[in-house]
């Protein structure tokens, strides 16, 4: 279902109406704060409740931010910490490889780009912050899945994953997972560019470079690799 821009804007206004001072509010208060008619606010809140973005107390008929909104906020905080830990490594990877370097986090079945350093040559699948790519078509997604779900043994053994022309013809990337202090994969980084430069002879070197950068970021986040 395609949601109109106006509906999205109104839904966001409702979410922004929740504050630290007023974490729980009635329908009338939310409608007033968002500048909406009660019927419109009620319809949007029902959709947001279905998606877990708000929760309603049936006893008091008050709304509050839901578990999905809380999870998104926590993910945003982690992404911010990740960006600080990874920025230098992304810049170093671009300098070293001359390819676009990205930092990505899992969102549902996609990988979301939260930071990037563009390489000197770009083609159709150029990365951009805020872009989401299908997880199973990206090197970062493959690396994260292998680290999280015990997927491809080859990826776990090498420490990096490769995507060649799966996201877009002529575009290739090499990615490696990043681990947090609790030992779980929390993100991934990659270098990507034209497939003609990602030759069979070059990919192992790129993989080693991306893996080394990912390991340094993981260490910065508090991850301790098992001996």
Count of domains forming the chain: 2
Q: Are residues 37 and 141 in the same domain?
A: no
Q: Are residues 114 and 192 in the same domain?
A: yes
Give the separation between CA 54 and CA 49, rounded to whole angstroms: 5
Q: Are residues 120 and 206 in the same domain?
A: yes
pLDDT at residue 127 in the model: 53
Residue 143 has pLDDT above 90, yes or no: yes
Average pLDDT over residues 148-161: 88
Q: How confident is the model at residue 78 (pLDDT cuts 50, 70, 90)?
A: low
pLDDT at residue 227 in the model: 63
What are the Cα distances from residue 61, in Å, to 5, 48, 58, 129? 28, 15, 5, 38
Q: How confident is the model at residue 119 (pLDDT cuts 50, 70, 90)?
A: confident
Average pLDDT over residues 200-207: 96
Q: What is the pLDDT of residues 28-59, one digit of tens each?
A: 999 999 999 999 999 999 999 999 999 998 88
Q: Are residues 92 and 149 in the same domain?
A: yes
Length, in residues, of the chain: 227
Q: Is 225 among the domain residues?
A: no
Total-model pTM: 0.66
Q: Are 126 and 102 in contact (CB under 8 A)?
A: no
Give the separation between CA 106 and CA 26, rounded to whole angstroms: 34
Q: For position 52, which CATH number holds?
A: 1.10.10.10
């Amino acid at each position: 279902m395609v949601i109109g821009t106006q509906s999205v804007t109104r839904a966001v206004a409702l979410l922004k109406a929740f504050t630290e001072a007023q974490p729980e509010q009635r329908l009338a208060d939310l409608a007033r704060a968002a500048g909406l008619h009660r019927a419109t606010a009620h319809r949007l809140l029902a959709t947001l409740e279905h998606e877990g973005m708000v929760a309603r107390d049936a006893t008091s008929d008050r709304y509050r931010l839901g578990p999905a909104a809380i999870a998104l906020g926590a993910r945003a905080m982690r992404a911010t910490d990740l960006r600080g830990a990874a920025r230098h490594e992304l810049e170093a990877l671009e300098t070293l490889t001359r390819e676009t370097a990205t930092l990505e986090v899992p969102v549902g079945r996609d990988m979301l780009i939260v930071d990037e350093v563009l390489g000197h040559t770009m083609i159709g699948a150029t990365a951009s912050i805020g872009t989401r790519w299908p997880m199973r078509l990206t090197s970062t997604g493959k690396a994260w899945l292998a680290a999280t779900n015990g997927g491809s043994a080859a990826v776990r053994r090498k420490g990096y994953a490769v995507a060649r022309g799966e996201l877009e013809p002529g575009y290739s990337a090499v990615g490696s997972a990043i681990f947090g202090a609790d030992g779980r994969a929390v993100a991934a980084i990659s270098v990507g560019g034209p497939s003609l430069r990602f030759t069979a002879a070059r990919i192992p070197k790129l993989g080693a470079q991306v893996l080394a950068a990912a390991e340094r970021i993981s260490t910065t986040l508090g991850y301790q690799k098992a001996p």
